[in-house]
């Protein structure tokens, strides 16, 4: 059972507790805040890895990714080979006025061309200027933090295991060939051995 004025007393108690605590003021923009390593600020583009597969644009629920490309013919790598065609990226833009930072484009990219950057200072006075082209996305790529170190007890990735197995097999094969060549070089020549062998009595008669 509450007595009259208990609500006021509780409110004053909260006020007194708050007044005794030291206030913390963020000195932004003079002091940059310490952001968590997985902060979703903007999306950086590593253009060299992009193959214009359009998977990010198709999976984007907001349709805020715009990609243009054209095809180029690549000459054969070896004489007698055939020419091949490849996609060349002309435009890669993201409209951050529509983006809801879900990260689906980064997750579905099969070639690791998109990364989260903790950069957050990209406000504009005009909403149309929030569509950033690939040059700006490339600049944000340099602000992407390094990935965390792998767990020492974690299982080795299958790709690394397969590459290591192939490298060990090739090294063992090369070592075996080198040992065989060395043994062959050290073995005496039969014709030379017959010439150097001294004649024994009774031979050649």
The DSSP element (H or E) to which 67 belongs, if any, is: strand 65-74
pLDDT bracket for residue 165 (50, 70, 90): confident
Q: Give counts: helices (H), strands (E), the chain.
A: 6, 5
State yes or no: pLDDT of 205 exceeds 50. Answer: no
pLDDT higher for 159 or 71?
A: 71
The answer to whether 144 and 117 are in contact (CB under 8 A) is yes
Q: Which residues on neighbouring strands pair with residue 43, listed in sequence order? A: 116
158 against 71, higher pLDDT: 71
Question: pLDDT band at 198, cuts 50/70/90?
Answer: low
pLDDT in tens, 66-115: 999 999 888 887 887 788 888 899 999 999 999 999 999 999 999 999 99
pLDDT bin (cut points 50, 70, 90) of residue 190 is: low
Q: How far apart are CA 87 and CA 64, in angstroms?
A: 21
Predicted pLDDT at 26: 86
């Amino acid at each position: 059972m509450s007595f009259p004025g208990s609500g006021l007393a509780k409110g004053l108690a909260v006020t007194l507790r708050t007044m005794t605590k030291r206030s913390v003021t963020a000195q932004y923009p003079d002091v940059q805040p310490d952001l968590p390593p997985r902060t979703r600020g903007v999306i950086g583009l590593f253009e060299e890895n992009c193959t214009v597969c359009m998977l990010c644009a198709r999976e984007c629920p907001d349709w805020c990714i715009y990609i243009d490309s054209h095809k180029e013919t690549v000459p054969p790598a070896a004489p007698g080979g055939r020419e091949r065609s490849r996609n060349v990226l002309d435009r890669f833009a993201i409209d951050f006025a529509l983006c809801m930072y879900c990260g689906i484009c980064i997750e579905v990219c099969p070639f690791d061309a998109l990364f989260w950057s903790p950069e957050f200072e990209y406000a504009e006075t005009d909403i149309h200027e929030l569509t950033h082209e690939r040059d700006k996305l490339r600049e944000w790529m340099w602000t992407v933090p390094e990935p965390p170190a792998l767990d020492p007890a974690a299982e080795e990735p299958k790709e690394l295991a397969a590459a290591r197995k192939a490298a060990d097999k090739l090294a063992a094969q090369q070592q075996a060939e080198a040992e065989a060549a060395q043994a062959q070089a050290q073995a005496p020549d039969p014709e030379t051995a017959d010439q150097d062998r001294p004649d024994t009595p009774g031979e050649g008669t």
